[in-house]
A and B are shown apart, each in its own frame.
Chain A
């Protein structure tokens, strides 16, 4: 009877049936619930409540859809009373669908039940809703006026008590954890001081505490990721005022036609199919997309001296640089300068040097392959191999150690391997903060019941539990997935001892198996055909005593036994590591012990197995491939000579430590930094700062203001560059660059956002501009490369014909391509032609220190930090809010020093060079960390790290094991005014 056009829309029909199912289920659940005292009562009530909310939301949507699309008219031949009945039942159904859930809700509120809609989102109707993110605002829009009503006369319990800052500070001083976000609702303010265990003078009245930028400690109960991550992303967007533009840009990140996320070097899942972004990548991008600008007016308003008084965080918060600036001595201001004049100054100063080796050319890991290639070409054509780069400070032990072991200085796994792994080991790496997208793989692995073994001194939330923001079911059900199946809280510097313990157990199990005539535990074929040095290695293990192993690693033997069992059961093992392994005095040797563990059971060159160093910067690995290397291989130099027809310098150049030393000694006169914040990234920065101020010229190619611009030479330039997300338009059209991730996948990246100023230039253009001004007649047509990056890629192909064959063609494949990785084919480009078992002397990663009060300090980054860039003062997974001057300590170590939570302390480095290195004003937070180990953030603690304290082989600063003393702050520094 009802014609085709006389039907409800498909959406309405869908809603109808969906709600019919919900409401019928609700009837049964409701009547079942009120008539049982069995344990099922509780799940029934829980379902009843969430289904009720779902029905309310659906009903409101349905009402809106009904108003928009209307309804078919009733059949004309229907008698009037029936029509009336139909209308009335229609209206009453709507009224009931909306009214019943509200009624239930009201009953819960009246009974003062805590109504938690989502974990972390209490429906409390407090007045600080604007602090909540867009996601929470959505929830509120759906649930207007929702609050928990607390009956009773107790004002302090009566719903929202917004705590002003002083109250919060007081709360902190009482040792009571309260979230830094005053919007979190029922924070109890008034009652606490009376209950304080502390003397009253540390309470609210103490103005020293008021003005100090003290952090607040509060445990974070939620899993890593999840709604908290979405909340943080939304907040990052809003705080940088980029909500709309940023959201669009985020959707393009790591997409085939989009740009590469500058946040980390983790591999993307096949660029074609899935969309993946992470909280910290979002922060990195929104940091670029900020609306704030550092203009010529800004520099005119502030002298450099004034800017020096501001914090690093404040400097970066000022926004994007907009035009080239030159330092003017007469006024102590940066003043605008034209690009041509700027390049000319660089050319003049470089050409005025007595020796090309008097210039240092720093590269940050964000530099694209194209920019890096042109940069090394420029620098080598100029005549030096001085390439300090950020890799020197993090994964140099990987670049040095792995070639000796397996013949290539890179990891050997692909993202797909994670699906085939039967066990995953993660050592000294915190993916939740440093490479969040790795959690996607760990999450999947955990769901497959793959054991995940973690070695890490601190308990890190993301290694414990994770809720995948891209898993709708997990998000909707507030689910979470455990990550680590075995969490080994190894002492700082105890990784090798632990690894050797595990390997010793594997070896013992193997010997035992052979004695019993059982299957061998080791992969004997692999060891025989593909490795070298096994016998000596096995002897060393047998001679290493359990006493030493257990003393240094601090783990119980039965835990190592469980880890060894996991390793031996798995037919394919991936071992992931980070800077917790590399930044030690024997970092290179550490890396090689990881290889040994994998070699024992042939965990190379098979699906689901291999080694996976996790790099920080998005292209730090690609830059090295492109030749940013102070110790270049002869083959690279020969190829450069062949392709470009000049003789590149053959002598080794400076790494970071050498470069700083050269500045200190007066041997370096010019510093050019392609990205990064050199002076904050290096150890012992007080020394480095003083040395940099004596340089002839400092050049910073940057996107934002940072400390490096204020610590300048006699002449100084700030050259503003396009960011990864900006459109790069050159004479030859819109350009894309390429990057190589941690898994040797090379893919293209092109920006999508209009540049923030017409004066910005791409890094490639800036490099070519400096090169042209310095070497105008060198036979290299710099302009043509700057105009069309395809020409650069052709030259990259010419220099690396094996790796980059058909570069321009292959990079246009969706997802890019994988660079050849010989160990995957069990081909070993080492001196022995095999994978090498390399020995580690004894078990100590760091030289023992005699002072019994010594603690080992690992420098950490917070969750809201990207290397030297600080996005906010919070570190929520570790429960720190609103401050970074924090030391994480074991409670036993605190007691031994008479330190209580929240006390202020100073940290002194136990260096042997006679120089006193102290940082002060740190608040102590008791934390889950082994006795004798402490953690604190860098760069705040970089001054504690002597320049000479680095990995002996690679020069990487040993920032994860600085021997220090911690003691209560001397009182006079607490109250300077008294």
Chain B
């Protein structure tokens, strides 16, 4: 059989084109042509302090303490979401109190933002994870804005923050809170907010855009940062361990339902005060454990791990957080040798 003549050069060119086009498409997809793209890698790198990241630790909210407890659902949430976690009942919770800092050894009084991560498991095998913080609004309205905030706050340029605030007027309410809101001397007295909005899907398939908050049962007692500093660098951990050993600590979970037209995609905007709220249950913290070998250490409180009946909304943050948390998780689990695993060990 005679093979049709074909130029060898032509064949090679064709192969080169196919491979070249494939490689180019791949490189484009990977973002190698778009250096401005906010990748999880850049976002996580920007979180690191000038001295470099604390190896083996979460890249942000690095200081924290684990707890175990239950979520005691009162059944009222079942009207909004078909997730089993809202059916009346008690579901086990793993969680973590934390401070919004990349430094696991930061003194408590130096960190303005506190957080709470939870993972609630239901008998249907599903899991609801949520990582909340105590400010009433998020400082910025987009992940890009958050990246710029990180760059500005790390910048040596004394005007960096000023320029940032000018470019991001949405920052003002958060700035106001950071400056003026009272501090407390205990995690148990803090209110934690999802800030991001999510979608609850009820049994009939109807969707409700919501945010949720955990309201403390304990009465907040204001304390100045200076007084807090006097109590010791790790006072919050010690305090909650002591308090938790005495009696279970409780937070009421309140779900706020957006009205049509509310800013659901922008966590820097609070919703009007009159929005309908539903109390769906109580978080009961029963047992406090050090993070070191505690059950929360290896949990990624990825806010997009949601049960059937809860979905992400048009809020761009949960996706960005999920991407960044995954990156952080990959890094710190690969650095396990740098993490002080035994109770006697200290950070190298």
Contact = CB atoms under 8 A, between A and B. Distances in A.
A40 B83 CA distance: 24
B111 to A, nearest CB: 24
B320 A41 contact: yes
Interface stretch (A31-39, A424-432, A535-543, A803-811): A31-39
A37 B312 contact: no
Interface in B129-151: 143
Contacts of A124: 125
Contact of B70 (A32, A191, A459, A926): A191
Contacts of A179: 123-124
B68 A154 contact: yes
B343 interface: no
A538 B82 CA distance: 44
Contacts of B92: 154, 156-157, 188, 191
Interface residues on B, range: 35 or more
A195 B285 CA distance: 12
Given A40-B319, A177-B88, A188-B91, A116 B125 contact: yes
Contact of A28 (B29, B39, B72, B324): B29
Contact of A37 (B83, B143, B300, B314): B143
Interface in A162-200: 174-179, 184-188, 191-192, 195
Interface stretch (A107-115, A787-795, A935-943): A107-115
B107 interface: no
Interface residues of A, number: 59
Contacts of A32: 29-30
Contacts of B121: 114, 157, 186, 188
B177 interface: no
A225 to B, nearest CB: 14
B182 interface: no
Nearest to B22: A24
Interface in B6-47: 25-26, 29-31, 37-41, 43
A8 B121 CA distance: 48
B273 to A, nearest CB: 28
B125 A185 contact: yes
B21 to A, nearest CB: 13
Given A28-B25, A154-B68, A184 B94 contact: no
B322 A41 contact: yes
A624 interface: no
Interface in B71-112: 72, 75, 78, 82-84, 87-92, 94
A219 interface: yes
A122 B124 contact: yes
A216 to B, nearest CB: 11
B32 to A, nearest CB: 9
Interface stretch (B154-162, B228-236, B291-299): B291-299
Given A35-B39, A177-B89, A112 B298 contact: yes
A152 interface: yes
A482 B40 contact: no
A186 B92 CA distance: 10
Contacts of A112: 298-300
Contact of A114 (B68, B87, B88, B127): B127
A819 interface: no
A119 interface: yes
A154 B94 CA distance: 9
Contact of A464 (B143, B205, B296, B314): B205
Contacts of B323: 33-34, 36-37, 41
B188 interface: no
A167 B320 CA distance: 42
Interface string A708-726: 0000000000000000000
B309 interface: yes
Which 4 interchain pairs have the tightest Cβ spacing? A152-B295, A122-B125, A176-B89, A37-B320
23 contacts: A27-B26, A31-B30, A34-B39, A34-B40, A37-B39, A39-B316, A40-B319, A45-B322, A110-B298, A111-B329, A112-B300, A113-B127, A113-B300, A113-B302, A113-B305, A122-B125, A151-B297, A152-B294, A154-B92, A157-B94, A178-B123, A219-B87, A482-B205
Given A28-B26, A36-B39, 19 more contacts: A27-B26, A33-B323, A36-B40, A36-B323, A41-B323, A111-B298, A114-B121, A114-B126, A119-B308, A122-B124, A152-B299, A153-B294, A154-B68, A157-B121, A157-B295, A191-B92, A219-B78, A219-B82, A221-B83
